[in-house]
Amino acid sequence: MKSKDATYFNPFELFAYIGEEYFCDRKEELKELQSALDNRRNLVLISMRRMGKTQLIRHWHHRLSKEDQVIPIYIDVMQTTSDRQFINRLASAVLIALEERKTIVSKALNVFKSLRPTVSVDPVTGLPEVNLDIRDDRDVGISMEQIARLLADRKERVQISIDEFQQISEYAQTVIDASIRANIVPLENTHILFCGSESHLLHALFNSAKKPLFASTQFMHLDYIGKKAYGSFIEKHFKKAGKIIDKIAVDEVLRWTRRHTFYTHFLCNQLYDFPCTTIDLEQVEQAKYRCIQHFEMTFLYYKKLLSKNQFKVVRAIAREGAVNAINSKKFLNQYGLAASTATQSVKALTKDGILYAWQERDRVVYRVYDVFFSRWLEQLSI
Ligand SMILES: Nc1ncnc2c1ncn2[C@@H]1O[C@H](COP(=O)(O)OP(=O)(O)OP(=O)(O)O)[C@@H](O)[C@H]1O
Ligand SMILES: [Mg+2]
């Protein structure tokens, strides 16, 4: 196949934030974020994976960066495994946001002097990385105090977003939450947003009376983008490229991907690449097939990892779409499952993130977390 030339551009971007034009909706959520910032309510932003939390923060920060009076700071702590790594990431981001490029090194060496700092350059981003020699909890406290001082010295407001914050629960031991509470929360000019998708871990960090951040924040759930807004967004971008996508095709895209943002975008990204100028259900069918093909190796790997019973259960749930009565006779009989097997499997599959569970009135509802995996399971013939 001939490769596309340099001007080719797909507006359904799957990873980076590429600007307002390519960001869909979230108007109400933005208002909520802004109100939290203006009224100094720290937030915990929570949702299923791949719903759009990180993109929403990026979009908000993009807007904030146009104002003189707010400095946005973003860190992702997913890959960190210790307080030391967390602090180094935070210190680096704060210095990069607050200092002129040429003064970062001297400022780092000066401010964090007692923590034996070194500065290197990230080979991928080209940005400076501060490395503080944090040996114990006391050093964590000292470094957080210094970071707080840097923030407090600014006349602007500062918005700090910490993505994948639940990661601190995985550290062997941590005083990060306690030192944020002691040093950053009291700052009058600084607003904090904690973000993540592991709701039980986040609830444990913020809703347990024994935890330092207890009752210090407001929770905000990120839900699906509305059907109308998502549909118009899709139509608009096809139209801009001289392509007409019919209404039934758009509806099918939204239905099949359950409007779970990453999956909807992924399907649109595939569809956009088709060389035709009118898009109807036929192209959508082909694009669906491509999506499933793209991930099939991963799905076969999942199949290998799961026990026979677990696979039977996950497939049954995929076929149903969503199940709110795992132990009902109808469901068990239809898929040849024993009640004990179903209960045990559902528990393990939910814990491993293969199933997603939520409460609806007095019932727990289960669904296959990964939309494409669910669609793949649905169409298996054996
Ligand atoms: N409002 C949006 N407009 C356009 N695309 C979006 C939007 N929100 C999400 N996306 C698409 O969905 C993808 C996943 O979004 P994002 O990475 O923000 O999800 P997340 O909730 O942070 O996921 P995770 O929990 O896995 O970190 C993005 O890379 C982008 O392709
Ligand atoms: Mg994210």
pLDDT in tens, 307-324: 999 999 999 999 999 999
Task: Tell whether the model's pLDDT for residue 4 goes beyond 80.
Answer: no
Burial class (CB in 10 A: 0-12, 13-18, 19+), 320: middle
Pairing of strands 118-121, 218-221: unpaired
Tokens encoding 83: 């307080």
Terminal CA-to-CA distance of the chain, rounded, Å? 34
Task: State in Å: Cα 290 to ligand 1 middle.
Answer: 20
pLDDT tens-digit map of 122-179: 888 888 899 999 999 999 999 999 999 999 999 999 999 999 999 999 999 999 999 9
Q: Residue whose CA is closest, atom 9 of ligand 1?
A: 52
Ligand 1 nearest-atom number relative to CA 47 = 21
Task: Tell whether the model's pLDDT for residue 105 goes beyond 90.
Answer: no
The half-sphere exposure of 274 on its side-chain side, counting CA atoms within 13 A, is 23
Give the model's confidence band at 7: pLDDT under 50 very low, under 70 low, under 90 confident, else very high.
confident
Convert 324-341 to b/e letters by CB count within 10 Å (16 or more is b).
bebeeeebbeebebeeeb
What's the Cα-to-Cα distance from 331 to each of 320, 341, 354, rounded to whole Å?
9, 13, 19
Count H helices and E strands in the chain, helices first. 15, 11
Tell me, using a 6 A CB cutoff, whether residue 50 lines ligand 1: yes
Mean pLDDT score, 222-228: 98
Tokens encoding 4: 């596309």
Task: Tell whether the model's pLDDT for residue 360 goes beyond 80.
Answer: yes
3-state helix, strand, coil in the chain (%, to 5): 50, 15, 35
**Under 8 Å CB-to-CB from 109, ≥6 apart: which residues?**
117, 119
Task: State in Å: Cα 61 to ligand 2 middle.
Answer: 14
Report the CATH fold assignment for 227-301.
Helicase, Ruva Protein; domain 3 (1.10.8)
Amino acid identity at 310: Q
Task: Tell whether the model's pLDDT for residue 102 goes beyond 90.
Answer: no
Q: What percent of the chain has pLDDT over 70?
A: 99
CA distance 369 to 49: 9
Tell me, using a 6 A CB cutoff, whether residue 259 lines ligand 1: no
Task: State in Å: Cα 62 to ligand 1 middle.
Answer: 15
pLDDT tens-digit map of 238-269: 999 999 999 999 999 999 999 999 999 999 99
Ligand 1 pocket test: which of 55, 59, 193, 236 has the largest number of ligand atoms within 8 Å of its C-beta?
A: 55
Please report the pLDDT score of residue 16 as a whole number: 95
Ligand 1 pocket test: which of 50, 197, 370 has the largest number of ligand atoms within 8 Å of its C-beta?
A: 50
What's the Cα-to-Cα distance from 71 to each of 55, 94, 190, rounded to whole Å?
18, 10, 9
Task: State in Å: Cα 222 to ligand 2 middle.
Answer: 12
Residue 106 CB neighbour total at 10 angstroms: 11
Please report the pLDDT score of residue 2 as a whole number: 62
Please report the pLDDT score of residue 239 as a whole number: 96
Mean pLDDT score, 188-210: 94
Please report the pLDDT score of residue 382 as a whole number: 59
pTM, to two decimals: 0.95
Alpha helix (H) ranges present in the chain?
A: 27-38, 53-64, 83-98, 104-111, 137-152, 176-179, 199-207, 227-240, 247-256, 261-272, 281-305, 308-320, 329-335, 339-351, 371-378
Mean pLDDT score, 65-81: 95
Could you state, in order of their start, the residue ranges of all structural domains in the chain? 27-221, 227-301, 306-378
Give the model's confidence band at 381: pLDDT under 50 very low, under 70 low, under 90 confident, else very high.
confident
Please report the pLDDT score of residue 314 as a whole number: 97
Residue 57 CB neighbour total at 10 angstroms: 22
Tokens encoding 93: 């981001």
Mean pLDDT score, 22-42: 97
Give the model's confidence band at 1: pLDDT under 50 very low, under 70 low, under 90 confident, else very high.
low
Q: Nearest 5°: CA angle at 55, between 51 and 61? A: 145
Ligand 1 nearest-atom number relative to CA 25 = 1
CA distance 28 to 223: 11
Task: State in Å: Cα 41 to ligand 1 middle.
Answer: 24
Please report the pLDDT score of residue 8 as a whole number: 85
Mean pLDDT score, 50-55: 98
Report the CATH fold assignment for 306-378.
Arc Repressor Mutant, subunit A (1.10.10)
Name the 3-class secondary structure at 219. Answer: strand
What DSSP designation does 228 have? H
Place of tokens 């991963």: 298
CA distance 382 to 330: 21
Task: Tell whether the model's pLDDT for residue 77 goes beyond 80.
Answer: yes
Amino acid identity at 86: F
Ligand 1 nearest-atom number relative to CA 13 = 31
Pairing of strands 355-360, 363-368: antiparallel
Give the model's confidence band at 215: pLDDT under 50 very low, under 70 low, under 90 confident, else very high.
confident
Give the residue, 26 or 101, on which the prediction is more confident: 26
CA distance 104 to 69: 21
Task: Tell whether the model's pLDDT for residue 63 goes beyond 70.
Answer: yes
Task: Tell whether the model's pLDDT for residue 5 goes beyond 90.
Answer: no
CATH number of 27-221: 3.40.50.300
CA distance 144 to 277: 56
Residues lining ion ligand 2 (Cβ < 5 A) are: 53-54
Burial class (CB in 10 A: 0-12, 13-18, 19+), 152: middle
